[in-house]
Structure 1
Amino acid sequence: MNWLLPFLCGLGTSILSAWGVGGGTLLLLVMTLFLGVDQRTAQGINLLFFLPTAAAALVFHWKNGFLDKPTLKSAVPWALIFALAGAWVATAVDVELLRKPFGIYLLASGIMMLWPKKKKPDSASSDEDSKPDE
């Protein structure tokens, strides 16, 4: 019966990830706060959880023509460099130093989700809407 809570957490976070909500963050919180998993181990599990989700999204975006090749060519090298730098920092820095900034990040992102920015109406479409029919 010790498998039930981890199973339900994995199921819930996979459903959230499928909806694009970011279930990995929830998975990290559950593992560190409720299951007693070390933060570095939880981050590693979270990254492994993310890989199939990202791969599936990439395949479907490619099939539907939503990938911009020039953007990919310029973004991928920088992403690899900063991912390696982030991995090095995460393993070189004490876990206790990572907890507070990560908690602040989670709070800030949660607050931003509660109060999203309102989109400004497009001026070109609003001009056409205000023109009388001839």
Structure 2
Amino acid sequence: MNWFFPLLTGTLTGLLSGFGIGGGTLLVLWLTLAEGFSQLRAGGVNLAYFPCCALPALLGHVKNRLVEKKAALWCALFGIPACICAALLAARLDTTLLRRCFGVLLLFVGWQEVFPQKREGENGP
């Protein structure tokens, strides 16, 4: 029965990832906090796990015409080289500095989520 909670966690985080809710983050948290994985190992598992969830989600979004193909092309053309450059840079930086930069990024994103700025012509609360 010790396989049940890991299977349930993988299934739930996969579903959340498909909906764009950040299931990969939840999976890494589960692996590090509950399963005792190192951060590096949990990140590696998440990278191996991601395509299994992302591909079906992408196919579903394409089928439902929810993907702007031109925007996706531009994102891929610039995003892939940017990811490669960022990974090479991150491999050379001190881990403490990376953690602090990531913390600042999380604070910034959290601030934007809690206090969104209204755009011109936008209605809502």
TM-score calculated relative to the size of structure 1: 0.65
Residue 117 of structure 1: CA displacement? Answer: 2.5
Highest Rg: 1 or 2? Answer: 1
* C-alpha contact 1:39 1:95 (8 A) present in aligned 2: no
Aligned structure 1 segments of 4 or more residues deviating by more than 3 angstroms = 1-5, 89-113, 118-123
The equivalent of 1:17 in structure 2 is: 17
Pick closer, same or farther for the CA change 1:93–1:3 going to 2, 3 Å.
farther
* C-alpha contact 1:40 1:95 (8 A) present in aligned 2: no
Cα distance in 1 between the residues matched to 2:3 and 2:21: 24
Pick closer, same or farther for the CA change 1:97–1:122 going to 2, 3 Å.
closer
* C-alpha contact 1:13 1:24 (8 A) present in aligned 2: yes
Q: How does 1:22-61 map to 2 (within 5 A)?
A: 22-61=22-61
TM-score calculated relative to the size of structure 2: 0.69
- Structure 2's unaligned 5+ residue stretches are none
The equivalent of 1:76 in structure 2 is: 76
SS in 2 for 1:37: coil
Paired residue total = 123
SS in 2 for 1:67: coil
- Structure 1's unaligned 5+ residue stretches are 126-134
Identical aligned residues as a percent = 37
Pick closer, same or farther for the CA change 1:117–1:100 going to 2, 3 Å.
same
Pick closer, same or farther for the CA change 1:67–1:76 going to 2, 3 Å.
same
* C-alpha contact 1:32 1:42 (8 A) present in aligned 2: yes
SS in 1 for 2:70: helix
Deviation string 1:86-122 (CA, Å, 9 cap, x unpaired) is 3334444454443343345445545554x25275694
Residue 19 of structure 1: CA displacement? Answer: 3.4
Cα distance in 2 between the residues matched to 1:5 and 1:110: 29
